[in-house]
Structure 1
């Protein structure tokens, strides 16, 4: 789906029904589910009639799309989605989420606003809050939704040991961008001119003290500072005159305020450049398909009356994706083996095809799987591939036995006829019988494509014909008793040689498997090393980003004299530093060596046992 428009227009992703229930739009989910590229998710929230949709249309590179509305009514009900190719990140999809305006008087249920706000935070990698006028106490008070996030989002399923909850939440939190529309003030603090970001940090400064009013003042500010890993402010002048506001989306840029147009470009460039791919716990970057699963998980949880849990969501997502990864990989392996293998086939060719198809299957699995704790899903795939391979080996042996049996039957047809007609029942008949039998064996050996059970099939055939040959021998009047005794001993020696040939054939088969398992072992080490290194880097990036955010916040608190809070943050910083140290020093090769060797050895032992059971059951039947 790379390099094309995923969706021509926005669609409703999560519908907000008239009775205040949130409901998933199945059509939108299917569109999202089909996106296999990494997604950068940008959501926007704010009170209705504040121009949110206009900015999202600009991010989509369009002037139309998300409904702007030109009346006092809120137009966007629920959460609307627009997926477009990312303009600056190759093979990435930009997912834009435009949310229903907060504070809609027609809604009646304030909890509904809280859930819309919480979902926008949960799903996005960049979270935009859109407001009008300036950042004052009234504006911050309206952001009470962020203060309620800790009640609406759980990090872990268990309430035990929640001391590091802020750290875990910070690892997966989105970047925070505050957009202030129709801004008319000068960017000044006192008499000093400041940047937009300095203005924002000043507005979000907390006060010292423990009184009720101080705590109420600090709560939303502290939540914004703690919850989001970065903060950015954009101030926009009014785009045009009051008379033209209702048609702003149709006006050419030449009729809009130049400062507004410039700020729009700056805003879009920042979002395109700085917005990171959406990640989940462990630093895993997710695709549109995985985002769709998260949407369903969160909305279903809210509908059930429970609170969305990040840990449960990741666990559910990993289970769904890893199970699907096994299914896809195994299906690919089976289809390719069926396509490329024509039974019976020699061992070398079968193992060559198996090795190739297995590598392709594991490549597919590695690309899709994630969060595979202790590599349980990987080991399951190995077991399933081995099982199918063993079954195919058995079918190959059976096909070889069948083909060889048919060939031997055809080659011995003339001898059968001679036996029925009494051709060998005369003096010298045993010599003629031996000559015909040797000719038949030579023709059998010279025939190609008999498969891996040729010697075994011949051995079984000759055993069945032993009584027949002995009858011809005993009936030959030309031979003395001593001649007959020597002939019997030669037959036994020939039978031993043939049984040895059949046994060597079996040993070659097992040795070929061992050789194949060694090759598989080496390839799997490479694949798993690459996979686990990527996951290690993801985790490091996640921890480093959170650590950088905490240190930045701690530095600012120290500068403002908030020593107590700074000391509390130092404990979190130390915890993160320990986590990062553990991640950096984790010995991947030790884990891989133990895991792969064990799997490979179990595979060989399983095949050897399988062969033993087959041989035993075969001898029992005989």
Structure 2
């Protein structure tokens, strides 16, 4: 927004000298092959609308005896002067730059708000004490600003909030103080590094907090845990996608995927540990009385082995009936039973009611039983590995799906932005040429040709213009 007092005259134009320096003071791309004209033409895609306000307006809105709007007044003020290049350069240059960099322009004029004698108390006056014409002009201005002003954006439709603006300013200041020319493209990439790192942390924090809320350890099966993980992971990726941009080579999304996998494995380990702890506590409570009887020698007598087997079987059934043991239920029980093999064998050998042959048969039965348990454990481990591999593939596909959707949305948005910018620039260049900007005719014709080629290329191919 620019403002002046009284009228739009050459003095007001001269105060806009910084506009003429834009192409010399800032670059849109880091490409060294990009010339000054191409560099400046890219500004249109992310520059804001140009609004000129004229306070205490002193003229009548007329041209050639006809009433005109304030916008038409601005367009007339921006018309170039015909003449020799060296004579009209200083007059035309700021006007050319405003038209080139800001295709959308708006002008508002304001009459004096009240009588000269009341101006000193202006801040204390109510609306009904101000000039009605001025009040209407202010309402029109505010309505336009509130309803038509767009959120500050960068190339690619990246919105700029407070923290992003701070980082951009620091990047520009650092470039200027180091003697370099600030570059929009480099600034956006530097901002992306900061924002994408924050997006990764935000997504991981959400994943971890949501998993803690949803998972009740231990889960009955591994798949129960993986199903919750898949939901939380999907939502975490969505958060990353929402807050990240310009993730070159998907570096940050790959980092997110790696850390999500590590956190998933940590939750799986926690699930195993909590299941094992619960199962050991249950075994201690359930089998503790049996161990006490063994110590007392209750089963060290004829027929004691059969009685021991019966009680052991009943206690195993009781153990199986207990809820929420988790995925380590069978493994922990088998580990316990294996640790008591010497006790079983001692009771078996001490039972005088059994013949040697019967004892040998029982030993073989126990070995076969242990082999079956080991085979079952191996099968369960293989099943768990398969479940983890399937989940890993689903995770990979989810990352690809969301990344592809975002890239496609960004591609369409960029094409739309560039097509719009090219159309606006083309219209402005043609108007400048039509108005007889003689000193720049050849250059303008060259720009128009390039813009038409770019616009046709964008419409027909849908390619992103570099």
Normalised-by-shorter TM-score class: 0.7 to 0.9
Aligned with 2:123: secondary structure?
A: coil
Unaligned runs of 5+ in 2: none
Asked if the contact 2:275–2:327 (Cα under 8 Å) also holds between the matched residues in 1, the reply is yes
- Structure-2 change in CA distance of 1:277 and 1:546 (3 Å): same
Question: Hey, what does 2:12 align to over in structure 1?
Answer: 139
Q: Could you say which residue in structure 1 is the equivalent of 2:90?
A: 216
Counterpart position of 2:298: 423
Contact kept, 8 Å, 1:345 with 1:451, in 2: the verdict is yes
1:402 corresponds to 2:257: no
In the alignment, which residue of structure 1 is the partner of 2:49?
Answer: 175
Assess if the C-alpha contact under 8 Å between 1:176 and 1:232 holds in 2: yes
1:571 aligns with one of 445, 450, 462: 450
CA distance in 2, matches of 1:417, 1:423: 9
CA distance in 2: counterparts of 1:492 and 1:482, whole angstroms: 15
Superposed CA deviations along residues 388-426 of structure 1, whole A, max 9, x for unmatched, are 110111121122222222322333323323333333333
Note if contact 1:133-1:184 (Cα within 8 Å) is conserved in structure 2: yes
Query: For the residues of structure 2 that align with 1:241 and 1:585, how far apart are their CA atoms?
Result: 56
1:444 Cα deviation after fit: 1.9
- Mapped partners of 1:264, 1:220: distance in 2: 27
Q: Which residue of 2 aligns with 1:165?
A: 39
Does residue 1:186 correspond to 2:65, yes or no?
A: no
Checking the alignment, whether the CA contact within 8 Å between 1:175 and 1:231 is kept in structure 2 is yes
Contact 1:358 1:385 in 2 (8 A): yes
* Separation in 1, partners of 2:464, 2:194: 30
In the other structure, the counterpart of 1:553 is 428
Is 1:438 the counterpart of 2:301? The answer is: no
Alignment correspondent of 1:538: 413
Find the residue that maps to 1:273 and give its secondary structure: helix
Partner of 2:29: 156
SS in 1 for 2:3: strand
Partners of 1:290 and 1:283 in 2: CA distance: 14
Structure 2 match to 1:263: 137
How does the TM-score come out when normalised to structure 1? 0.67
Q: Report which stretch shifted further, 457-466 or 157-166.
A: 157-166
SS in 2 for 1:578: helix
Q: Secondary structure at the match of 2:167?
A: helix
Q: 1:476 to 1:464 in 2, by over 3 A?
A: same
Q: 1:413 aligns with which of 288, 291, 299?
A: 288
Separation of aligned partners in 2, 1:210 and 1:572 = 27
Give how far 1:549 is off: 1.3
Aligned residue for 1:412, secondary structure, equals: helix
Which residue in 2 is equivalent to 1:500? 375
CA pair 232-490 structure 1, distance change in 2 beyond 3 A: same
Q: Which one of 334, 350, 359 corresponds to residue 234 of structure 2? A: 359
1:193-204 alignment runs, 5 A limit: 193-204=67-78
How far has the Cα of 1:528 moved from its partner?
Answer: 4.1
SS in structure 2 opposite 1:233?
A: strand
**1:418–1:559 distance in 2 versus 1, CA, 3 Å:** same
Q: Return the alpha-carbon distance in structure 2 between the equivalents of residues 463 and 247 of structure 1.
A: 96
Confirm or deny: 8 A CA contact 2:458 2:464 kept in the other structure. Answer: no
Structure ID, larger Rg? 2
Change (3 A) 1:279 1:577: farther
Q: 1:581 to 1:276 in 2, by over 3 A?
A: farther
Counterpart of 1:490 in structure 2 is 365
The 3 A distance-change label for structure 1 pair 209 and 377 is: farther
1:273 to 128, 147, 156: 147
Q: 1:231 aligns with which of 102, 105, 117?
A: 105
Helix, strand or coil for the counterpart of 1:173? coil
By how many angstroms is 1:438 displaced? 2.0
1:506-562 alpha-carbon deviations (Å, 9 max, x no partner): 344344445555665676566445544543343234213312311220331342245
State which of 103, 115, 120 in structure 2 corresponds to 1:241: 115
Would the aligned equivalents of 1:550 and 1:573 in 2 still touch at CA under 8 Å?
A: no
Gaps of 5+ in 1: 1-127, 587-622
TM-score by length of 2: 0.87
CA contact (8 A) 1:167 1:572 kept: no
Pair 155,143 (structure 1): closer, same or farther in 2 beyond 3 Å: same
Q: Greater RCO between the two (CA within 8 Å, min separation 6)?
A: 2
The question of 1:476 aligning with 2:351 is answered yes
Matched residue SS, 2:420: helix
Give 2:258's match in structure 1, choosing from 359, 371, 383. 383
Larger strand proportion of the pair: 1
Alpha-carbon shift at residue 306 of structure 1 (Å): 4.7
2:453 matches 1:453: no
